[in-house]
Structure 1
Amino acid sequence: MRSPSDRFEANWLLASLSVDSLALLEPHLELTSLQMGRVLVPPSRVIEHAYFPREGVASVLARAGPDIRLEVGLFGRDGMSAPSLLLGVDQTPEETIVQIPGSGFRIESRNLRMALSRSIPLHQSLLKFVHLMALQTAYTAVANGTRSIEVRLARWLLMCHDRGDTDQIPLTHEFLAVMLAVRRSGVTLAIQTLEGKGLITAKRGRITIRRRDGLEALAGENYGPPEAEYERVIRPLRRG
């Protein structure tokens, strides 16, 4: 018979929980499809579910005006949506949407709160992800404020690559423009630059990683510290 941790091993945050902690969540976790563009956390509305992806990547977006959205964080099988729930906050002005499709588990917010109230170890374990997302957001702000589009693109591709099983990332230029907070023309030039260096190939809404080592060299110190902290606190994250 499989243990709860075996069933949920595809989500590293759930798999890191003790058997007793995971047993409190297991009866309430249901498998769900995460289609591209699906809103996991609507802005400024009560959060009804928390999601723990098995595959795919979701973006946390902040609005900088009626028509401007900026990515301030991303997660996949390394974490969960709506970490604000762990802090007792049931809505946020940020929006979370699926950018790379996959699947995952979801739990109603009320059931998550109930489980947290019954177990301090469970709450403490999940709160680690709040720390990790805060660190990632800080490094995203530094990169967006100080680095070129090419460097930011390299970092972002590495982060998506860490959370997937293939070297192919399904993305459009329009979506990347939102993720990197730049114009579509800037994304096109950045992709051409990375292609010219032989680091990636881009074709029909899909980017293929060709030289991860080259992307890491280009990203430099902008990629690595949040990933190293995740590995210290939870488990290995970065792909070789």
Structure 2
Amino acid sequence: MTDLDKNRQYRNQLLRRMPADDLALLVPHMQRCDLLLRQILVSPNIPIEAVYFIERGIGSVVASTTSGHEAEVGFIGFEGMTGSSLVMGDDRAVHACYVQLEGEAIRIEAGPFNAALAASATLRMFLLRFVNALQTQASCTALVNARLKLEERLARWLLMCDDRVPGETLSITHEFLAIMLGVRRPGVTVALQLLEGRALIRSRRGEIVIRDRAGLEELANGSYGEAEAEYVRLIGEIDAD
């Protein structure tokens, strides 16, 4: 029986693929918890209290300027974990991470998590592969934010959401989308109308329904897929069963 077979009780892809001996170091310290909308998982520039292996829902890593401008730079669902600075030997992060779509997670306090990392080089090496994948995603986000049109960026963002949320309906407001994409709310409204006019989505108050995923991938103009392929190379194919 493979480690993946043994770890079927978890939806989180890292916990599913983690070597059994390393998972055993974490299990005694695991706490299942709900993720509430806008809940702060990591506060910037203060010690990280806990890591969250997301089972359902989405956490956003959000960068901000001293003048108050915000934009999403990282996107974490059931394929990953928050607090990856701990894996790299630091005790804090520069950017905030908070819940974008509510769900649930497995929480491990920083102390025992760090102890497990110190006890197992294989655990740290495995999680560093996820850190690498997350950094690839962030670099792709920087590129598309600098070079692509808003509707193309929105298409990529919706595809990333669709990868992590069961079903075709996303509960998200225009205001929150504006923060995630680093633009003003009217721009988001226009971009959503454009996608809806092409029959790619249906947009209602606080809700977006994806109607044509293939069409979204075409509209994304090559911005979607590279980070996803890198995750598969480093961690493995997504298996949510």
TM-score normalized with structure 1 length: 0.95
Alignment equivalent of 2:8, drawn from 6, 9, 22: 6
- In structure 2, what is the equivalent of residue 69 of structure 1? 70
After superposition, what is the alpha-carbon deviation per residue over 1:120-165, rounded to whole angstroms, capped at 9, x for unaligned? 1111111111101110000000000000000000000000100111
1:6 is paired with a residue whose SS is coil
**Shift of residue 231, structure 1, vs aligned partner:** 1.1
Letter in 1 for 2:207: R
Quote the residue 1:236 is aligned against. Answer: 237
**CA 1:235 to 1:152, structure 2 compared with 1: closer, same or farther past 3 Å?**
same
Letter paired with 2:143? V
| Match in the other structure for 2:130 | 129
The CA RMSD over aligned residues, in Å, is 1.4
1:1-240 → structure 2 map (5 Å cutoff) = 5-8=7-10, 10-237=11-238
Q: How far apart, in 2, do the equivalents of 1:92 and 1:139 lie? A: 20
Query: Aligned to 2:233, what secondary structure does the other structure show?
Result: helix
* Aligned structure 1 segments of 4 or more residues deviating by more than 3 angstroms: none
Q: Which residues of structure 1 form unaligned runs of 5+?
A: none
Contact 2:13 2:238 in 1 (8 A): no
- Compute the displacement of 1:44 (Å): 1.3
Percent identical: 43
Between Structure 1 and Structure 2, how many residues are aligned?
A: 236
Q: Give me the TM-score of the superposition, normalised by structure 2.
A: 0.95
Letter in 1 for 2:110: S
- 1:33 counterpart SS class: strand
Using the TM superposition, give the Cα deviation of residue 82 of structure 1 relative to its aligned residue in structure 2, in angstroms: 1.1
Q: Secondary structure at the match of 1:25?
A: helix
- Residues 12 and 131 from structure 1, CA distance in 2 versus in 1: closer, same or farther, beyond 3 angstroms? same
8 Å Cα contact 1:40-1:97 kept in structure 2: yes
Q: Distance in 2 between matches of 1:197 and 1:238?
A: 31
Unmatched 5+ residue regions in structure 2?
Answer: none
Instruction: Tell me the CA shift for residue 43 of structure 1.
Output: 1.3
Q: How many angstroms apart in 2 are the aligned matches of 1:160 and 1:237? A: 14
Task: Supply the distance in 1 between the matched residues of 2:130 and 2:199 (Cα, whole angstroms).
Answer: 35
- 1:92-142 CA distance string (max 9 Å, x none): 220000000000101001111100111111111111111011100000000
Q: Distance in 1 between matches of 2:236 and 2:171?
A: 26
Deviations 1:5-34 (A, max 9, x none): 1322x0001111011111111111110000
Partners of 1:237 and 1:223 in 2: CA distance: 16
